[in-house]
Amino acid sequence: MLHTINKSPFETNSLETCLRFARAGHSVLLFEDGIYGAFKGTRFESLITDSLKSKNIYVLVPDVEARGMRTDNVIDGIKTVDYAGFVDLTVDNKTVQAWL
């Protein structure tokens, strides 16, 4: 199952709620303002690091670059994708849930 997050974790609880419900083996894509959850040094880093033990987390590169953030500062273990990779994720997962 693929979960998508498009909100900054500093603005809404979408990321936290999503990770509360996502199960082991699920994938989570951070895009739009959701990408702000992907970086080292934020107060969400330990939540992400912990989730990476059982889940796959992805971040959408065009949205990282648009915001002046750096892909080399993304938390280790998070994978980067472009829109084509986003499409592949939705193909690989039967259910897609957008945490709006």
- In the complex, which residues of this chain contact other proteins (CB under 8 A)? 1, 6-7, 13, 17, 20-23, 31-33, 62-63, 82-84, 86-88, 90-91, 94-100
Let me know how many helices (H) and strands (E) the chain has, helices first.
4, 5
Question: From the CB of 84, what's the least distance to other proteins, in Å?
Answer: 5
Question: From the CB of 40, what's the least distance to other proteins, in Å?
Answer: 24
**Which is it for strands 2-5 and 96-99: parallel, antiparallel or unpaired?**
parallel
Residues 6+ apart with CB under 8 A from 91: none
Tell me whether residue 26 or residue 48 sits nearer to other proteins (CB atom).
26
Give me the half-sphere count of Cα atoms (radius 13 Å) on the Cβ side of residue 13.
3
Tell me whether residue 20 or residue 76 sits nearer to other proteins (CB atom).
20
